[in-house]
Amino acid sequence: MSTDEPVEAVTVTFPTPSKRLVVLPWLVLGATLLLVLRSIGTLLAQVQLASGPSFGDLEAIASGPSFDFVGDTRELLGTWKQAALESDSAYYLIAWAARAYTIGDTIFIAVYTVLLVQLWRRVRTHLPANIEDSRATWTRLRQAAHRKYLPYLAIGGAAADVIENTLRLIMVERAIGQRSVPDVLIVFSWISTTAKFGLLVAFGVLVAVLLLDTGLLRQWLRRAGWALWRLRVAFAAATLYVLILLADATGQAVDLVRRWVDDASGILVGVFSILAALLLGLVIWIQARRVVLSDQHHDHTPKTIDVVRWQVALAGTAAVLAAIAWFLDWRELFAAAAIAAVLFGLGFLGRTQKAMAAAAANKRADDARAPGAAEDVLAARRMARLLAITAPVTLMMVMAVAFAPVLIVLPLSGEAGSGRFIVACCFVAVAVAGAPLSALGGWKLLRRWDGSVENVPASFEHKYTVGIVVTAIAVGLSITGAVTHVSAVGVCTVVATFLAAVMLILGEFQRWAETHTAPPGILILGMSRMPFAALTAITVVLASFWLSDGSAHAVHRQRELPTGLSRNGVTLEKAFGAWVAGNCAGSGHGGQRVPLILVAAPGGGVRAAYWTSSALSDLLGPTRADPVPGCPAAPADRIFAMGGASGGSLGVLAYTAGIDTPNRSATWYDDQLARPDFLTDPITWMLTTDLARAVVGYGGEDRAKRLEDSFSRNVPGLGDDFFAGSWGLDGHHPVMLITGTQVESGCRLNIGAVRLTDAASRARAGTDRTVCTSLGRGDAQDDAPVTTDVLDVLCGPEPGSDLLSLSRSTAALLSARFPYVSPSGQFYGCGDARRTAIVDGGYAENTGIGLLAALWPHLEPLIARHNATPGNATIIPVFAEVDNHYERVAASGVPARTVEGLVPPSTQARPDQLDDRAMEAMIAGLFTGAVPGTAASCDVASGEGRFVRINPRTSPGLPAPLAWTMSKLATDDLTAQRKIALDGPGPKALGVWATGTVVCAP
């Protein structure tokens, strides 16, 4: 690393460098800049092909082993050229993203050049003094590695990188400026790229040769491996923290950091997140001092009494746990009892040999003693420091990644001088500079606290006591704040403090195992100590995957079904008749046209909920306060049925839940869906209550119930009955057909009052899990394919129990149970109480269209019969897909070349990726041509039929994450996108139609 204690050489004398060679801050700065470049490159990926970012970002220009790199580059430049031509915002986004990327990459080039040269110099300081004596026997490769001009290879690679960046920027500027790009620029750029990689690889190979010549590589690897093994608990905690923040594919971690600039409480969340990361690092360091560096005095001599005590303890533990599990019906607890019983039994399989016990005792004694060699002390200290600075440095990196694109987006959105822009600038500056400085500062501070090599820490020093107290307070405050919904406590704080606490506990178990005799059952397995962490993991797996019956995550059913609803459901005819009457479309309204709207809301977490509810509110109004002319129906009453999946289901239910509230704000969705934190509470509950429940098996609220309560608390009306008040049940709310997925079969679950399968056939078949996958016979022949109705599984766990209803929040989450934030929900079939588990509807069908498409063959004849009856208004069915997924602004390019050897793996999964598009194309085809029951067509917009898609297009914005919280920066983007989307010809015409004026497009 950057600063090390001096160590006396034992066998080889090394030259002492005149100046300390600093590597760590340059390494951290380089990694930070690399992540920033990736985040800026993502802005370019947003304006690529309609089928996705097929060619990557700026790094994809004139690169790769392809022989047709000129054609590939022209394809990518052509995409950006077309996007810039279609939209001024896309032009400026591409231009400034490319410029910012080039500037950042130039700084990165300087950083990695310094880093490589420093590494080379560092390696040379470890070469033996007499290394030149054997030069005559060296190979040419070895001779080249020892030449003084070796750094010029790295400098040459950096120069080629600068030339490559310059040429790429010129090509992008010319392309978006609608000018031609000569082939010579592409060729020279490719040559520069190839030269860069060639020179840098050559430099790396030669430095590796130098490293081998030091003769110390094996020792370094051995000591590093030993230190990692001794610090395995700390390593696991640090690695998990890094993966949570940097390997998040949903974009949630980055957007959580962006929430820090939302308001004052957001700033507090950021402060506490940073403090929690520092605490995690401090705990790693103090645990290393206690577990690895201190001298754990203990008598490790094997004693017969230890064997007896262990056997008695294991037998007693197994008996007590089994008794508790039996009497309290905590079946998961049998896993821990079984493991204790197995270890007890293994102790009697054979007599433990004295040699085995003595060898194990010696091994434990070696680990319990403080490292004897100075080199081992240094290895442990350095590894502990490295792991300790990992958490705060990682958080700094995420800050840089989160706010770097903001510096490009906000000026393009007219916020160049806004407070948010200034704060974002400060965050980027602090993060980019703070990551390397915090790494170096933390390293030096911990090195000073470590003291000299001879200083052996006490087995229970004051630092450790303070660490335990601070961690206990931090864990208590963070968990309490999270479950009581204190806005200043965020998920990053909870995760960091939880990891710190778990690490302290497991560290103590590790230390205890190293200072105490292992049970004979463990020794027989060839182990020298009690493997607490491994046994804990095995217990969790056995309890969760083998013994758990899922009842702890049973879906929360409440109250009786509303009047008029039974297992047979509401008939479609009754619901349609109620809609006709409520929309003044029946007898006496001849000559009028009334739109009947079907709405589908695809999944996408809270982004989908926000987009769906806000788009419907802007399109049809947030309440029913303003009726259409000549009829008491409101524009929202034109909706007959709504389908949804995952977050889209939450969106449609949130919209309808408050539709009868007269004083509902026009922007209610900002306060009720965008600003609340729907993530911290369930994550905290998962890490505490549900994790313990997985081993013990007690009852009580699970994290799904906590999330449902959070929905109900923030969105008025979501706590009300899901079925009540819809068409056909004495109300004017749309018929809901939202989608869940059955775990055991993969079938869709229709969550709604109108059945899509034959009730009598399903009742005769019970809840056989194969019914939904079978072809229907007789009355069930026109059942919706691969579908189960929720009305068949609303009974209790006792056979013959009655059906109970659901709240809107329960139904919404039932369609949005995306593991691991929320667990699968357990239902019990009516009749024999057979269990079925339900997860996110997006697994089965993410568009929300599928169940509405299954309804259409039954609804269309009703509309046709109605329209053919004289004196009735003409019902014009319209299908609206309120899709939260971003649409690319550029058209698809020509297909790439086919590599025959890669056809099976590259093609196998691609048809599945087209399922959503196929569903959209299918439903769009159904809603075109003549209106049912008439001979004439009536399009919403010219050439678009009666299918309307409302979705965001990419623009200079920060796309919202696929998660359960959103920053204001993300919702600002969706707001801008919504205005553009609703201004399209289809949505604009649909809004006019809903108010009572239906004019067919020519």
Calpha distance 764→37 (Å, rounded): 61
pLDDT above 50 for 881:
yes
Which tokens sit at 759?
């009730």
d(CA 235, CA 434) in angstroms, rounded, equals: 23
Per-residue confidence (pLDDT) for residue 50, from 0 to 100: 37
Q: What is the mean pLDDT of the chain?
A: 86
CA dist list (Å): 532 to 226, 340, 793, 972: 19, 12, 41, 49
pLDDT (mean) for 759-772: 67
- For helices 915-926 and 850-867, angle between their N-to-C axes, nearest 10 degrees: 0
pLDDT tens string 856-868: 999 999 999 999 9
pLDDT average, residue stretch 951-974: 81
- Examine residue 698 and say whether the peptide bond preceding it is cis (omega within 30 degrees of 0): no
Summarize pLDDT for 359-417 with one digit per residue, the tens.
666 666 666 665 667 788 888 899 999 999 999 999 999 999 999 988 888 887 777 77
Q: 938, 876 in Cβ contact below 8 A?
A: yes
* CA–CA gap between residue 202 and residue 160 (Å, rounded): 14
Compute how many other C-beta atoms are within 10 angstroms of the C-beta atom of residue 270.
22
Question: Strands (DSSP E) along 94-162, which ranges?
Answer: none
Maximum mean pLDDT: which of 217-231, 384-398, 443-457: 384-398
Please say if the pLDDT value at position 293 is more than 90. Answer: no
Q: Which residue has the higher pLDDT, 829 or 359?
A: 829
Tell me, what's the pLDDT at 954?
A: 64
**pLDDT at residue 681 tops 90:** yes
Per-residue pLDDT averaged across 540-557, rounded? 87
Q: In 458-603, at which residue ranges do the beta strands (DSSP E only) sit?
A: 593-601
- What are 776-828's pLDDT values in tens digits? 676 667 788 889 999 999 998 888 788 999 999 999 999 999 877 889 999 98
Q: Tokens for 512, please give them.
A: 């205890």
433 sits in which H/E element? helix 419-450
pLDDT for res 654: 97
Confidence of residue 162 (pLDDT cuts 50, 70, 90): very high
pTM equals 0.89
**Would you say residue 914 has pLDDT above 80?**
no
Domain boundaries, the chain: 1-215
Long-range own/partner contacts, residues 687-692 (CB < 8 A, 24 or more apart): 687/494, 687/495, 687/498, 688/479, 688/498, 690/552, 690/823, 691/540
Question: What's the pLDDT score for residue 370?
Answer: 58
In this prediction, residue 6 carries a pLDDT of: 43
Q: What percent of the chain shows pLDDT beyond 70?
A: 89
Question: Per-residue pLDDT tens for 100-157?
Answer: 999 999 999 999 999 999 999 999 888 887 777 677 778 888 888 888 889 999 999 9
